[in-house]
Every structure is written in C-alpha cells, then in structure tokens.
Amino acid sequence: MNKINMEIKNEERTACEVWTRVMGYHRPVSAFNNGKRAEHAERCYFSEQPQRARQNIEQLAA
C-alpha cells in the first residue's frame, strides 16, 4: 500500500471538545472554571493489569 502524506491547514481543522464525568454527569472541559481545569489536568488515570500480572503479584504477596 502506498502511504499518502496528507496535511490539513489550520483553517480546515475542527476543534475537538473534550467531555468528562463530574459528580455523576458529563460536562465539557471548556465549561470548567480555572480550579476545576487545574484539577482535571492533575488527574491520574490507571490501566487494569492483565490477569497473568495480577496472579504473579498475588503469588509474590503470599
């Protein structure tokens, strides 16, 4: 397959609106006040460990 190098001009771009769940409902991040935006930027996200890794941790703890 041939790779096509496509470039989009800034005028052609569409703004992406980011939503997040706050206190049980969803809101756009653009509607946050400064304090809530800072809190959102500091959030930590996790990824669940695969089953094998979890079993290894449990064996080490035993």
Strand, coil or helix: 44: coil
pLDDT digits (tens, 9 = 90+) for 11-31: 888 888 988 887 788 989 888
pTM of the model: 0.45
Phi-psi label, residue 26: left if phi above 0, alpha if psi -120 to 50, beta otherwise: beta
Question: What does the pLDDT look like over 1-13, one tens digit per residue?
Answer: 567 778 888 888 8
Dihedral of the CA atoms 44, 49, 53, 56 (nearest 10)? Answer: 70
